[in-house]
Structures are given as structure tokens and as C-alpha cells.
Amino acid sequence: MKITFRYTSQLSTAAGTSEETLEFPEETSLIGLLGQVCMKHGPEFSKFVLNQEGSPVRTLVVALDGAQVDLAKDPCVESGSEVYLITPMSGG
């Protein structure tokens, strides 16, 4: 299945892109997908996404197809979905 990911701020820098479409072998839960994306981009990316226990960090906001999701519910993600990963920003 194909999933489009969008990244903001420090995540975008760590991934080297603000948007990418990735292919996964089978439908999986959102947190499962996050784990796979973190594997792809490495520790400089994953530190903004998952903690050492593999749970989402508290400062990560995730939107699935335009709506923020409750990560505690870990919804299933279908092919063609768009996942937005948002980390905090400030002023300057």
C-alpha cells in the first residue's frame, strides 16, 4: 500500500524532504508505520517521533487524512492515506 507522508520543521530537515510517498507491504497500524518510517530515516528523525520504548513522543502531533488522531487509539491506516507529522515550532 502507498502512504504519503508530510513532515514539518525539524522532521522535514531530518528527512531531507517535506513530503514523500512510501510503499508498505501490508496494512498496518499508524504507530507501526511510524516505526518503519523511523527505521528509514534513522535516529536524527526518530528522536522527534518515537521514544526509546517505541511510543510516540508527547510533542508529536499526527494527522491522518486531514484530522488529528488520538495516538493512544493507534488507528489502522489504509492505502492512499496521507499522514502528517507535526512537531512544535516557535518564533524568531
Task: Tell me the C-alpha distance between 10 and 55, whole Å.
Answer: 19
Residue 38 sits at φ, ψ, to 5 deg, of -65, -40
Q: Indicate whether 89 belongs to the interface with other proteins (CB under 8 A).
A: yes
Q: Indicate whether 4 belongs to the interface with other proteins (CB under 8 A).
A: no
Task: Tell me the C-alpha distance between 77 and 91, whole Å.
Answer: 33
The answer to whether 5 and 20 have CB atoms below 8 angstroms apart is yes
The answer to whether 39 and 33 have CB atoms below 8 angstroms apart is no
Candidate segments 21-29, 30-38, 54-62, 73-81, binder of other proteins by CB under 8 A: 54-62
Q: Indicate whether 81 belongs to the interface with other proteins (CB under 8 A).
A: no
Smallest distance, other proteins to C-beta of residue 24, A = 22
Which residue's CB is nearer to other proteins, number 47 or number 81? 47
Task: Tell me the C-alpha distance between 67 and 21, whole Å.
Answer: 19
Site string for other proteins, 21-40 (x = CB under 8 A): --------------------
Question: Which residues in this chain contact other proteins in the complex, by CB under 8 A?
Answer: 6, 8-10, 12-13, 18-19, 47-48, 57-59, 61, 63, 66-68, 70, 84, 86-92
